[in-house]
A and B are shown apart, each in its own frame.
Chain A
């Protein structure tokens, strides 16, 4: 049976080639993925000392986190608050703009560029810009509010308005979802709209029964990416408020960072990292699960 032998040899050769070409990622994942995740679990049970060996302290970090440290819960609350308000707003606004762009308008690519540009501004630059834009006395936002006859708001300097200020700023940077939604909309088969029109469907019917089902996997993708990103909301809060005033913008990732690199409580911060991993996994799964009936896949 030389034939099957040579097939086996070919298969083996392909397997070796495949693994060889994939080896950068396999090695990289072990060193920069698997190892640190495992170590994060281990560190979370330790008092990590950068100068000497780490000391095993059992569940102390978790006990402190859950039962002692108020700021842990504040940071979790702030993050969930941000997600619950910002993510739906961003999704609706991005979808709305994409729908407006997906019409027979002229200058579509000019409009698209205007909506997209804010998203490529470097985060540090946009943080600095927005500190000034949100300035209660001299900033753009309050100037507009006053123009329309409203009172200016204290924004970043008040515990009530700091989170809304960051949410407002987040609405400025929705270029990526807009572009993705727009492309998704252009994939909807035009015959379906025509058929719906023949059946006497209104614009809303067409949106509800044709556009939305076709777009649902794309929306799910964006929501999940947005969710994962929002749990790691860091740079803006770090630069613009440092977590203040009165911990109102102390987000989870920011507090994790502060524990690790400012208070040098690396064991405790590792505990927070482990919790973050679980929160991310569970919430992604929940979104997948709860959307299973709502999302329509072609084929």
Chain B
């Protein structure tokens, strides 16, 4: 890249800044890990130790049995799974309309859809809560999953941009052979945009795994809690058990980190794409 101009001292300065900054960004993770492995007494020693004198692996199984972790995990996967299916189906259909069907008004609709991204969650929250209450949907996953089946502006935008890169000739020649729009959508366009669909799956999984406010509003029974709410419960029940809290937080974070490492390229491309073409 634009490296030629850098002389030796500048380069040293750049590395030094990056290492110092990176150190401070990484330090909280290190702190959480060593805290999760410390013995209860060592945790409350002053000054705090930088490495546990006795490594308490047992904190992890203990943290995971304090709360019904597997139950929460099952609920989270259920929540993630249906949201992904819903948003993948609906968002791709809408994106198809905005990019592959030549109809008047699609550009206006597109701009309109993008601008609805600005509507704050807290503005629609109360009327939706009351509406779903009328439906008898409180304390179920329906208020969280059903809206996913009606398209998400962010993914519609993402998929539309990808769909546009497929030559229209493909659609046109399929039409000559008698294919209808739905057939073209499902047999030609979707199979060609697998990378974009992967980005949607990834972002939706991450979003739902991390979602706290939605479940907080709609779920009451512990049996239904996803991991985010379960962790909150842990915090309110075992306030002083910091080793276990750190262990639980680490366990909740690890799957996401692993997922990120395996999908890094797709992931970064997805973010880049939305940021630059936006």
Our pick among A27, A50, A253 for the contact of B122 (Cβ within 8 Å) is: A253
Q: Are A32 and B275 neighbours in the complex by a CB distance under 8 Å?
A: no
Bound CA span A35–B70, Å: 38
Chain B residues whose C-beta falls within 8 Å of the C-beta of A186 in the assembled complex:
1
Please determine whether B3 and A103 come into contact, CB atoms closer than 8 angstroms. Answer: yes
B126 at the interface (CB under 8 A from A): yes
Known: A101-B18, A140-B27, A203-B5. A117 touches B260 (CB 8 A): yes
Contact with A along B253-267 (1 / 0, CB 8 A): 100110011001000
* A155 contacts B by Cβ under 8 Å: no
| Interface presence of B161 (CB below 8 A) | no
**Contact A18–B97 (Cβ < 8 Å):** yes
Q: Are B22 and A14 in contact (CB under 8 A)?
A: no
Q: Mark B13-27, 1 if CB is under 8 A from A, else 0.
A: 011011001100111
Cross-chain contact A17 with B103 (CB below 8 angstroms): yes
B32 touches A129 (CB 8 A): yes
Judge whether B48 and A36 touch: CB under 8 Å.
no
Residue ID in chain B nearest A107 by CB atoms: B18
Interface string of A112-154 (1 = CB under 8 A from B): 1111111011111110111111000110100110100000000
Question: From residue 124 to 153 of chain B, which have CB atoms closer than 8 A to chain A?
Answer: 124-131, 133, 147, 149-151, 153
Instruction: Check if B231 is an interface residue, CB within 8 A of chain A.
Output: yes
Of the listed stretches B51-59, B77-85, B192-200, B241-249, chain A binds: B241-249
Given A19-B103, A123-B212, A133-B31, is A32 in contact with B271 using a C-beta cutoff of 8 Å?
A: no
Q: Which residue of the partner chain, among A48, A184, A276, contacts B120 with CB atoms under 8 Å? A: A276
Q: Is B66 an interface residue (CB 8 A)?
A: no
Contact A179 B272 (CB under 8 A): yes
Report yes or no: A184 in contact with B124, Cβ–Cβ below 8 A: no
The minimal Cβ–Cβ distance linking B255 to chain A, given in whole angstroms, is 10
Given contact pairs A28-B147, A143-B48, A183-B276, A105 touches B128 in the complex (Cβ within 8 A): no
Contact of A21 among B93, B149, B246, B275 (CB under 8 A): B93
B238 vs chain A, min Cβ distance (A): 11
State in angstroms the CA–CA spacing of A269 and B197 once bound together: 38
**Which single residue of chain B is at the shortest CB-CB distance from A12?**
B103
Residue B275 contacts which of A25, A50, A180 (CB distance < 8 angstroms)?
A: A180
For the complex, what is the distance from the CA of A129 to the CA of B25, rounded to whole Å?
14
Instruction: Please pick, from B122, B228, B253, B260, the residue contacting A256 in the complex, using a CB distance under 8 A.
Output: B122
Task: For A29, give the chain B residue with the smallest CB separation.
Answer: B116
A24 touching B228, Cβ below 8 Å: no
**Interfacial chain B residues near A123, Cβ < 8 Å:** 210, 212, 228
Q: Is the CB of A111 within 8 A of B29?
A: no
Is A140's CB under 8 angstroms from B109's CB? no
Q: Which B residue's beta carbon lies closest to that of A180?
A: B275
Across the two chains, which residue of chain A brings its CB closest to B245?
A128
Residues of B contacting A270 in the complex (Cβ-Cβ under 8 angstroms): 126-127
**Does A280 lie at the interface of the complex (its beta carbon under 8 Å from any beta carbon of B)?**
yes
Give the residues in chain B near A25, CB-CB below 8 Å: 90, 94, 113, 150-151, 153, 156
Whether B47 pairs with A146 at a CB distance below 8 angstroms is yes
Determine if A82 is an interface residue (Cβ-Cβ < 8 Å).
Answer: no
Additional A-B contacts beyond A124-B231, A124-B235 (18; CB < 8 A): A25-B151, A25-B153, A27-B150, A28-B147, A28-B149, A31-B150, A39-B127, A102-B1, A102-B2, A104-B2, A105-B18, A112-B268, A114-B25, A120-B260, A129-B246, A260-B129, A273-B123, A277-B123
Q: List 6 A-B contacts (CB under 8 A).
A: A17-B97, A24-B150, A103-B11, A112-B268, A116-B260, A125-B252
